Structure 1
Amino acid sequence: MQQKFRSFLWLGLGAGAFLAYKAISGNGRRYSFRDKVVVITGGSRGLGLVIARMLAKEGAKLAICSRTGPQLESAAAELREYGIEVLAIPCDLTIQGEATRFIDQVQELFGRIDVLINNAGVIQVGPLEDMKVEDYRLAMNTHFWAPLYTMLATVPGMQARGEGRIVNIASVGGKVSVPHIVPYSASKFALVGLSEGFRNELQKDNILVTTVNPGLFRSGSPVNVLVKGQTKKEYAMFATMGANSLTSSSVENTARQVIEASRSGEAEVVTNLPARFLILSNNLFPELTAKTMGFANKFLPDPVADVNRMARGAESDSDLIPEHLRERTWKAAARNNEI
């Protein structure tokens, strides 16, 4: 009994020392975003736009990009109302030349990049049988290759100055693979590994890389997901989970955690309790978690065995979604430039 007590005592002392070190080292690395040059990919809508709004309030200089020109201009006009400099460039980051040109244009205008936030994303919802190779390729190009391209173009400048911060927004789906979003999960797993590897190697240059693994958040983004299989049923499942307060967080809370993690140089952050619980369960009980996922999959919509059938979320809306959650999704979509 005495030996067990000593073990628990040492465990408690060790945990306390670790938390104290984390608090001290974290506070030592905190800084203001005022006048910092911040690049946000996918900054024209959803989470990226909410992050941009918060950084604009802090006085950051922003560079955003997107493949959708009208949404990009709308976001840039809104952000300029905060009285800050905003560079908005339409580009396809999955093409290395375009990604490099975007970063070069930012550095040419502002002279440097202090913070890079890789946020651009895509999600395909549907059963395994209805996915094709191109779906996996799109996910990998967006979530792995695009962040790699922007980091490769940005890191040399940060190394030359001896400092910099990078945030890669992955997902809880990059820690636990969830049924009916396999291309998304696989590509986010790749991003988690890429991000962690960059952090481990770039600390020597005082470049702090943060991996953010958000749980579901209410930004209105379901209207832009790519839906396959039984599209109305798949979308109803995804949109209901994404708008429900029990399974999702506010996009503002998620954005705030992204910013604070970058400010303090955190290695990793998971943004809400459901996501933390799922990751912890998978780490401690991988077999049980896998069986639970397999059991849950039995209740998800059956495939239609048509890999070419696909619709956007907005096209798949139906009364299968509880009305108050539909309304919440569309209001968030309008507020965050998703429409």
Structure 2
Amino acid sequence: MRGRDKVLLGALAGAGAIWGTRAYLRYRRRIGLADRVVIITGASSGHGLLVAREAAEKGAHLVLAARKAEDLKQAEAELLRLGARSVLSVPTDVTKPDEAKNLIDRAIERHGRIDILINNAGIITVGPVESMTLDDFHQAMATNFWGVVHTTMAVLPQMKAQQFGRIGNVVSVGGLRAVPHMLPYTASKFALSGFTDGLRSELARDNILVTGIYPSTMRTGGHTHAWFKGKQEDEFTWFALGDSLPLLSTSAEQVAHRLWQAVCDGEPSVVVGWPARALVLLQNLLPNEIAEVIALADRYVLPASENLDAPAKQGQDLEGTVPNLLNRAVPAKARPGTA
């Protein structure tokens, strides 16, 4: 046998051993959702509500958190109507440590334990860096990073005491590759990505497994909740198209399904959607070239840096400025406030 053949066989054997080990670990770690106590933040609409629906279908006891009590009650009523075993809604601003702790305390008071925490709450502000203020960066970090830290640190004593837990952090592909005109969001998601990876390493010895979920943009109507600065109508248009068209975004149901697969299997991370997977692959293979392409896109494709001092507008106030095809691109059941 020639040396090249030996190397090839050795590589194949090594790949097979790695694959077999991963499959064995997934099998050993796999859990079901029946009778599990699950907390989901940002659960009143969109992706968070879809994550809650799937958990409810599999028999979990749900604890829902979001800022607006009225929206939470609507989500709770919908889940109970669909057959959820039990639903507790706790209005929570995760940027405030006391409210995050209250969420954990209420869940333990109701169920005696917490098995799974899904950190899904997040905010997005879109526009050129010149339009951003320090407050924009502080607000993004407060929700997207510190909100996760607050709930995680509050739940850890209970999970460590029972020597079991699963934590799923919805990060985004924006936590792996910087996205122009979304710098506060991207910076906060990079911080969350590092927190998730480090937390995984330190908690595994306590049988607490942390999973990072890195989806493409999702078709949930999220562009209506994002905030826009600079040339607001143009910023809304490009973001809404990327957030809505099937070729550029990912089904929110698919992301919710892959989230639960990864969390229940105790996987370290999962990248969801072909646009995200392609971007990560290209970023790893051609980092400098991808950086150049993205810089060119910022220069020639994205809106110019104008109207910089105008206050931010939310997407729902800009919806009339883009074609109606966006409403057709987003499934009704994924939109906020719909069943």
Does TM, scored on the shorter chain, surpass 0.5? yes
Partner of 2:26: 26
Letter in 2 for 1:313: G
Q: Of 303, 319, 325, which residue of structure 1 is paired with 2:305?
A: 303
Q: Of 309, 314, 317, which residue of structure 1 is paired with 2:316?
A: 314
Contact 1:221 1:333 in 2 (8 A): no
Compute the displacement of 1:155 (Å): 0.9
**Taking structure 2 as the reference length, what is the TM-score of the superposition?**
0.96
Look up the SS of the partner of 2:90 in the other structure: strand
**Taking structure 1 as the reference length, what is the TM-score of the superposition?**
0.96
Compute the displacement of 1:318 (Å): 3.7
Look up the SS of the partner of 1:218 in the other structure: coil
Compute the displacement of 1:143 (Å): 1.1
Identity %: 39
Compute the displacement of 1:90 (Å): 0.9
The reply to whether residue 49 of structure 1 matches residue 39 of structure 2 is no
Distance 1:168 1:83, change over 3 A: closer
Look up the SS of the partner of 1:239 in the other structure: helix
Aligned residue pairs: how many? Answer: 337
Compute the displacement of 1:306 (Å): 2.5
The reply to whether residue 58 of structure 1 matches residue 58 of structure 2 is yes
Write the distance in 1 (CA, Å) between the matches of 2:8 and 2:185.
41
Contact 1:69 1:90 in 2 (8 A): yes
Partner of 1:188: 189
Contact 2:216 2:276 in 1 (8 A): yes
Partner of 2:86: 85
Look up the SS of the partner of 2:330 in the other structure: helix
Indicate the RMSD between aligned Cα atoms, in angstroms.
Answer: 1.6
Compute the displacement of 1:307 (Å): 4.0
Look up the SS of the partner of 2:270 in the other structure: strand
Write the distance in 2 (CA, Å) between the matches of 1:282 and 1:147.
26
Letter in 2 for 1:300: L
Contact 1:220 1:332 in 2 (8 A): no
Structure 1: where are the runs of 5+ without partners? none
Write the distance in 2 (CA, Å) between the matches of 1:97 and 1:56.
27
Write the distance in 1 (CA, Å) between the matches of 2:154 and 2:21.
33
Letter in 2 for 1:182: L
Partner of 2:119: 118
Look up the SS of the partner of 1:217 in the other structure: coil
Structure 2: where are the runs of 5+ without partners? none
Look up the SS of the partner of 1:116 in the other structure: strand
Partner of 2:144: 143
Provide Cα deviations, 1:131-150, integer angstroms capped at 9, x if missing partner: 11111111101111111111
Mapping of 1:1-339 within 5 angstroms? 2-81=2-81, 82-298=83-299, 299-321=301-323, 323-329=324-330, 331=332, 334=335, 336-337=336-337
Contact 1:42 1:121 in 2 (8 A): yes
